[in-house]
Amino acid sequence: MTNFIKLTAVFIRANVESLEALNAADALADITDCIITIDDAVSVISSLLNREFEINECVPNVATAFVVTTINALRKALHEHDFRLSYDLADILQALPDNEYLCNKEDISSFNNTYIKKFNKKYGLKLPLIV
């Protein structure tokens, strides 16, 4: 799931002002809100990115709060046409470490300092740190 989120974020960032980016963000957020199934979201995003996806792993618990909060903030920013914020939210999602690095405290600390803390300071928001 982490790789799926990252690749979707790359697409959103590259197409931040498009309806397709909004649809991709809606599909990601709808998974977290249990509005659609993962299979339905994969289908929607696969058609938008013109690429087949398969989800083989979940987002580790240490990153769940961060991922859910960031995806919901991204959807909200896109709906409000705040493209600068949307771009930066997609950027931080695309930089999310792969699952194997999310069990390493040094890697988590580096990501938190490089991305989340700087983002929170820039925007005055409170994306949760990866723990």
Percent of the chain surpassing pLDDT 90: 83
What are the pLDDT digits (tens) for 31-57? 988 899 999 999 999 999 998 988 888
pLDDT at 54: 84
Q: Read off the pTM.
A: 0.93
- The count of C-alpha atoms lying within 13 angstroms of the C-alpha of 35, restricted to the half-sphere facing its C-beta, is 8
Residue 125: pLDDT band with limits 50, 70, 90: confident
Domain boundaries, the chain: 2-123
Task: Give residue 113's identity as a one-letter amino acid code.
Answer: N
Summarize pLDDT for 2-19 with one digit per residue, the tens.
999 999 999 999 999 999
Spatial distance between the Cα atoms of 18 and 104, rounded to a whole number of angstroms: 36
